[in-house]
Amino acid sequence: MTAKTKKILLNETELPTSWYNIVADMKTKPLPMLNPATKQAVSEEDLYPLFARELARQELNQNDTWIEIPDAVREQYKIYRPTPLVRAYGLEKALDTPAHIYFKNESVSPVGSHKLNSALPQAYYCKQDGATNITTETGAGQWGTALSFAAKVFGLELAVYMVKISYEQKPYRRSLMQTWGAQVIASPSMSTKAGRKILTAQPNYQGSLGTAISEAIELAMQTPNCKYALGSVLNHVSLHQTVIGLEAEKQMELAGEYPDVVIGCFGGGSNFSGICFPFLRHSLREGRKTRYIAAEPASCPKLTHGVFEYDFGDESGYTPLLPMFTLGHNFAPSNIHAGGLRYHGAGSIVSQLLRDGLIEAVDIKQLESFEAGVLFARSEGIVPAPESAHAIAAAINEALKAKEEGKRKTILFNLSGHGLIDMSAYDQYLSGNMINYSLEKEDIEKNIEKIEKQLR
Amino acid sequence: MTAKTKKILLNETELPTSWYNIVADMKTKPLPMLNPATKQAVSEEDLYPLFARELARQELNQNDTWIEIPDAVREQYKIYRPTPLVRAYGLEKALDTPAHIYFKNESVSPVGSHKLNSALPQAYYCKQDGATNITTETGAGQWGTALSFAAKVFGLELAVYMVKISYEQKPYRRSLMQTWGAQVIASPSMSTKAGRKILTAQPNYQGSLGTAISEAIELAMQTPNCKYALGSVLNHVSLHQTVIGLEAEKQMELAGEYPDVVIGCFGGGSNFSGICFPFLRHSLREGRKTRYIAAEPASCPKLTHGVFEYDFGDESGYTPLLPMFTLGHNFAPSNIHAGGLRYHGAGSIVSQLLRDGLIEAVDIKQLESFEAGVLFARSEGIVPAPESAHAIAAAINEALKAKEEGKRKTILFNLSGHGLIDMSAYDQYLSGNMINYSLEKEDIEKNIEKIEKQLR
Confidence class of residue B1 from pLDDT cuts 50, 70 and 90?
very low
Q: What's the mean per-residue pLDDT of chain A?
A: 94
Are B383 and A176 inside 8 Å of each other by CB? yes
Contact predicate A423/B172, CB 8 Å: yes
DSSP-based three-state secondary structure for A35 = coil
Confidence class of residue A1 from pLDDT cuts 50, 70 and 90?
very low
Instruction: State residue B166's pLDDT score.
Output: 84
Contact predicate B421/B450, CB 8 Å: no
Distance to chain A for B237, nearest Cα, Å: 21
Instruction: State residue B456's pLDDT score.
Output: 59
Contact predicate A66/A18, CB 8 Å: yes
Chain A residues touching B178 at Cβ < 8 A:
426-427, 430
**Which one of A157, A423, A431 makes the best mutation probe of the B interface by having the most chain B beta carbons within 10 Å?**
A423
Q: What's the mean per-residue pLDDT of chain B?
A: 94
CB-based contacts of B240: which residues, under 8 Å, 6+ apart?
Answer: B19, B117, B118, B121, B122, B274
Instruction: State residue B169's pLDDT score.
Output: 80
DSSP-based three-state secondary structure for B98 = coil
Contact predicate B90/A155, CB 8 Å: no
Query: Rounded to 10 degrees, what is the CA torsion of B199, B205, B210, B214?
Result: 20
- Sheet of strand B133-138: strand arrangement: B183-187, B157-163, B133-138, B226-228
- pLDDT tens per residue across span A339-350: 889 889 999 999
Residue from the list A6, A72, A149 with its beta carbon closest to the beta carbon of B79:
A6
Residue from the list A3, A381, A430 with its beta carbon closest to the beta carbon of B178:
A430
Angle between helices B171-179 and A423-430 (to 10 degrees): 50
Residue from the list A178, A180, A383 with its beta carbon closest to the beta carbon of B176:
A383
Residue from the list B380, B421, B430 with its beta carbon closest to the beta carbon of A420:
B421
**Under CATH, which number does the domain B7-15+69-112+236-455 receive?**
3.40.50.1100
pLDDT average, residue stretch B60-89: 98
- pLDDT tens per residue across span A3-41: 689 999 999 999 999 999 999 999 999 999 999 999 999
Q: Give CA angle at B328 (B326, B333), nearest 5°.
A: 95
Distance to chain B for A95, nearest Cα, Å: 15
- pLDDT tens per residue across span A57-82: 999 999 999 999 999 999 999 999 99
Distance to chain A for B424, nearest Cα, Å: 7
Distance to chain B for A83, nearest Cα, Å: 11
Instruction: State residue A57's pLDDT score.
Output: 98
pLDDT average, residue stretch A205-226: 92
Distance CA B67, CA B20 (A): 7
**Which one of B14, B15, B77, B80 makes the best mutation probe of the A interface by having the most chain A beta carbons within 10 Å?**
B80
Answer yes or no: same fold for A7-15+69-112+236-455 and A51-66+115-233.
Answer: yes
DSSP B108: G
**Which DSSP string do the residues of B360-401 spell out, in sequence order?**
EEEEE-HHHHHHHHHHHHHHHS--B-HHHHHHHHHHHHHHHH
Chain A residues touching B378 at Cβ < 8 A:
149, 152, 179-181
Residue type, B52: A
DSSP-based three-state secondary structure for B12 = helix
Contact predicate A417/A384, CB 8 Å: yes
- pLDDT tens per residue across span B135-191: 999 988 999 999 999 999 999 999 999 999 889 888 899 999 999 999 999 999 999
Among residues of chain A, what percentage have pLDDT more than 70? 97
Chain A residue with Cα closest to B380: A79
Chain A residues touching B12 at Cβ < 8 A:
3, 5-7
CATH architecture of the domain A51-66+115-233 equals: 3-Layer(aba) Sandwich (3.40)
Are A78 and B7 inside 8 Å of each other by CB? yes
Chain B residue with Cα closest to A423: B172
Q: Is the pTM of this model over 0.90?
A: yes
Angle between helices B235-255 and B116-128 (to 10 degrees): 130
Chain B residues touching A3 at Cβ < 8 A:
12-13, 71, 74-75
Least confident stretch, A108-117, A293-302, A323-332, B389-398: A323-332
**Which one of B7, B111, B156, B424 makes the best mutation probe of the A interface by having the most chain A beta carbons within 10 Å?**
B7
What residue spans define the domains of chain A?
7-15+69-112+236-455, 51-66+115-233
Are A420 and B381 inside 8 Å of each other by CB? no
pLDDT of A286 over the 90 cut: yes
Distance to chain B for A330, nearest Cα, Å: 33
Nearest to B163, CA basis, from B185, B181, B182, B178: B185
Confidence class of residue B454 from pLDDT cuts 50, 70 and 90?
low
Are A421 and B423 inside 8 Å of each other by CB? yes
